[in-house]
Chains A and B, each alone.
Chain A
Amino acid sequence: MSALKIKKGANKHSAYNLRPTFSDQQETHTLAVLVDNEAGVLARVIGLFAGRGYNIDSLTVAEVDHEGKLSRITIVTTGTPQIIEQIKAQLGRIVPVHEVHDLTVEGPAVERELALFKVEGSGEKRVEAMRLADIFRANVVDSTLSSFVFEITGAPEKIDAFAELMRPLGLNEVARTGVAALSRGNA
């Protein structure tokens, strides 16, 4: 089973688009990287980004195939098209990396992130926080008389928007998981 649910060798999913345009435009891409779940593999990926000066906007990692001992790393990164191509090629060079997919160019993908927000306050602000949480379909997972912990899932922009709204209402602490992403439809 490919834990990425993308057929190997499928052309539209090729991670090696070898004809970049060398434009200066900065683009944000979401990459899915399937790796052996072995010691040090995350350090290799992070070391590559640090060593070659690439950006990491978000990074998540967890085992996705216990039997095959494979983990899936989802990286959101920003760079020129040429840099994005380099990042993919460099990732592909790491020995325990099995597959690299650029979900941004390989057709539509869903991206989700989970976040926890601690909002402290009382009176009007507390009521307003509760009301907005309802609109954003955030759950209350902990509460005291003067605080809530909301749990919210969604695209990163939705979470950003929620954070903006909560800030004046007593937002005190945030924990975000980073993006998990899958391509839409059949692999």
Chain B
Amino acid sequence: MRPQDRGLFYVRIQRVETEFENMSRQMTGAKMIVECLKDQGVDTIFGYPGGAVLPIYDEVFQQNAIQHILVRHEQAAVHAAEGYARSTGKPGVVLVTSGPGATNAVTGLTDALLDSIPIVVLTGQVPTFMIGNDAFQEADTVGITRPCTKHNWLVKETAALSETIHEAFHVATTGRPGPVLIDIPKDVQFASAAYTPIKKARVSHYQPPVKGDMASIEELVAAIETAKRPVFYTGGGVINSGPAASQLLRELVEATDFPITSTLMGLGAYPGSGKNWLGMLGMHGLYEANLAMHGCDLMINIGARFDDRITGVVDAFSPGSKKAHIDIDPSSINKVIHADIPIVGDVAHVLEDVLKVWKSRGRKTDKSGLQEWWAKIDDWRSVDCLKFEQVSQVIRPQHALSRLEYLTKDHDRYITTEVGQHQMWAAQYLNFDDPNRWMTSGGLGTMGYGFPASVGVQVAHRDSLVINVAGEASWLMNMQEMGTAVQFKLPVKQFILNNERLGMVRQWQELLHGERYSHSWSEALPDFVKLAEAFGAKGIRVDHADDLDEAIKEMIAYDGPVIMDCLVEKHENCLPMIPSGAPHNEMLLSESSTKDAIGSKGAVFV
């Protein structure tokens, strides 16, 4: 070949190569799905097979890049994916069949929607030509899941499949994260078309802005400079924004020396051992956190949404404060509480700008005002609203969690919870120094979330200590996942605070319904130790305070899944508590204040 022809030759070869590549990228829809997932960096899917997804399962079988975790119920698949997503910051992926597979996923989708968790759910559907015929295992999946997903798609052509899946990942993880669903008819899985890799997929028009408005940021900085009684009120948005956001938050808190509280969803963004930490706020939040919110003159809401568990009665919420609200979702702003300084943007981006502007203006705060404010806060802190005494051998739930905290705090530890009193006690008595370590169902309050979530977390962090703090009633709602934990050798620890009651319901009945305990008993409970053994796991029962530490140590030490049945005081109330309909400064603090409590003089007025 003459040297001058060489260029031509290479061009030709290249052309042949691209043509070959295009040809070789023809594939079935089923294979395309697996390619897309690999392309998206997915390493794990949680799923359950059925007729409408068999071609996809066939492809899953023929590869090793992606592990498939076979759950025992589709709801659990979604919660496991949520646990995976929250603990890694990556989207969780779920694969389920049509009809009942899809409808079983609905609770998980709604849970992920309310807590803004990025989840991609792939559902099988009956073939396109049978849709609408009430075919076997047909459900209007996109119709049913439209209100409980951030977005969903029914893909009717294989040619559109790969781009749709890439778009789905983009939507799930961009802006305010959330669950998405792609419904894929069986004929679309069988047919072939060209694969579109991520790089070639068309750019989505969905691009929510991440930078905050600079004029509003200046306004916030000016408020920071002059505030006498400021407080940071942070939420799950800080965690969703990523590790940089938590880092910047810590820097801002240290630099300004402002106090900080957080919602249930935001725990760990600022370290629980940090000196400016007031503890969680809200209905079962700490006294000092709620009073600081009530009495502040500047409230800086970062990635929280003024949920009703936080505000209590809206008209009496923090009456004297100027309120700044940073949120990536414009609909969160002014939805519940009027924001004086609204800033739409991603938490990390906005905090970076706030810090930059604040520093460039000379790092000013009202030092003497702050000093007085901290003195007041220290007063509130001295009430020590979480104090309790472990007197008899009957284990108090607060004590169980304090010991759990003490014995596990130095471990590489992740905590999930179910929903109820135990969940609130876990939020109060466990300490989180890092984001992504605390997985709980906040917005939807889904009993049955914690166990599958712990499975998902453990899959992502094989060597870490993963504990689900559970109530006996919630735990039973997804107990079938014992099979998953045992099959996949996931050493999840199920720490059940067994009060033989639907404790939170019982508490409300005591306070609101004249102690008429209608159906809030956990009757006919299984023997949890035998139950564990039946699944091939380890069971431990403890009912004496003296034996608690040993039992916890035994649980931690065991290399495999454990059910720990920790029998606790049956009629303990979760306090402090802001009764619904009351403002923050009318908090029930101690048992004595709960006598004839809600809407009466028994409440502690501050």
Contacts and interface: CB of A to CB of B under 8 A. Distances in A.
Bind each other: yes
Interface of A: 16, 18-20, 22, 39-40, 43-44, 47, 51, 82, 85-86, 89-90, 92-96, 98
A96 B154 CA distance: 14
Interface stretch (B122-130, B333-341, B526-534): B333-341
A51 B331 contact: no
B2 interface: no
A18 B340 CA distance: 9
Contacts of B295: none
A82 B333 CA distance: 11
Nearest to B330: A89
Contacts of A44: 146
Nearest to A93: B331
B154 A18 contact: no
Nearest to A39: B154
A98 B342 contact: no
Nearest to A48: B147
Contacts of A89: 329-331, 333, 335
A18 B344 contact: yes
Contacts of A47: 146-147
B465 interface: no
Contacts of B335: 86, 89
A18 B334 contact: yes
Contact of A18 (B147, B205, B330): B330
Given A18-B339, A51-B147, A86 B331 contact: yes
B146 A43 contact: yes
B146 A18 contact: no
A139 to B, nearest CB: 40
A16 B344 contact: yes
Interface in B334-371: 334-335, 338-339, 342, 344
B142 A40 contact: yes
Nearest to A20: B334
Interface string B247-287: 00000000000000000000000000000000000000000
Given A20-B334, A22-B338, A86-B335, A95 B329 contact: no
The 3 closest A-B pairs by CB, nearest first: A89-B331, A95-B151, A18-B342
26 contacts: A16-B330, A18-B339, A18-B342, A19-B334, A20-B338, A39-B154, A40-B143, A40-B146, A47-B147, A51-B147, A86-B331, A86-B334, A89-B330, A89-B331, A89-B333, A89-B335, A90-B331, A92-B330, A92-B331, A93-B176, A93-B330, A93-B331, A94-B151, A95-B150, A95-B151, A96-B151
A89 B325 CA distance: 15
B28 to A, nearest CB: 23
A18 B143 contact: no
B387 to A, nearest CB: 40
Given A18-B334, A39-B154, A95-B206, 16 more contacts: A16-B330, A18-B333, A40-B142, A40-B154, A43-B146, A47-B146, A86-B335, A89-B331, A89-B335, A90-B331, A92-B330, A92-B331, A93-B330, A94-B151, A95-B171, A96-B151
Nearest to B213: A18
Nearest to B343: A18
A19 B330 CA distance: 12
A131 B338 CA distance: 54
Interface string B532-566: 00000000000000000000000000000000000
A114 to B, nearest CB: 31
B335 to A, nearest CB: 6
B150 A85 contact: no
Given A19-B342, A82-B334, A93 B146 contact: no
A68 B331 CA distance: 27
Interface in B202-233: 205-206
Given A18-B344, A86-B335, A98 B146 contact: no
Interface string B151-177: 100100000000000000001000010
B143 A43 contact: yes
Interface string B175-212: 01000000000000000000000000000011000000
B216 to A, nearest CB: 9
A185 B147 CA distance: 38
Nearest to A81: B334
Contacts of B342: 18-19
Interface string B442-460: 0000000000000000000
Nearest to A90: B331
A18 B326 CA distance: 12
Contacts of A18: 330, 333-334, 339, 342, 344
A94 B178 CA distance: 12
Interface in B500-530: none
A85 B146 CA distance: 22
The interface centre, meaning the residue of B330, B333, B338 with most chain A CB atoms within 10 A of its CB, is B330
Contacts of A22: 338
Interface string B133-147: 000000000110011
A44 B146 CA distance: 7
Contact of B334 (A85, A95, A96): A85
Contacts of B331: 86, 89-90, 92-93
A16 B208 CA distance: 13
A96 B205 CA distance: 8
Nearest to B174: A95
Contacts of A19: 334, 342
Contacts of A95: 150-151, 171, 206
B429 to A, nearest CB: 37
A143 to B, nearest CB: 41
Contacts of B150: 95
B205 A98 contact: yes
A67 to B, nearest CB: 15
Contacts of B151: 94-96
Contacts of B146: 40, 43-44, 47
B327 to A, nearest CB: 11
B348 to A, nearest CB: 21
A40 B147 CA distance: 12
